[in-house]
């Protein structure tokens, strides 16, 4: 697996917490020095490990908001 760098630019919120302490979080993350994007994924308690997740651009977050708003 290739090395990559990330910086959590802004912690926006915790969506859930597992019994083992991992949290599904919504954050803004800069991957490899790029423009920060919205990111939803599981994180170990001190952010030392991460699970698989999804990264979204500003436009994709706006589209997701419209879809979710229609469900509520």
10-67 pLDDT per residue, tens: 999 999 999 999 999 999 999 999 999 999 999 999 999 999 999 999 999 999 999 9
* pTM as predicted: 0.90
Banded model confidence at residue 4, pLDDT cuts 50, 70, 90: confident
- Phi/psi of residue 47, nearest 5 degrees: 60, 25
Out of 3.40.50.1240, 2.30.31.70, 2.60.40.10, 3.40.640.10, select the CATH number for domain 6-71.
2.30.31.70
Domain layout of the chain by residue ranges = 6-71
Two structure tokens written together for 6: 């990330």
């Amino acid at each position: 697996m290739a090395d990559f760098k990330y910086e959590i630019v802004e912690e926006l919120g915790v969506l859930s917490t597992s019994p083992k302490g991992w949290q599904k979080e919504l954050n803004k993350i800069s991957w490899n020095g790029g423009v920060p994007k919205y990111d939803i994924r599981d994180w170990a308690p001190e952010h030392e490990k991460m699970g698989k997740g999804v990264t979204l651009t500003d436009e994709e977050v706006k589209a997701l908001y419209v879809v979710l708003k229609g469900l509520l």
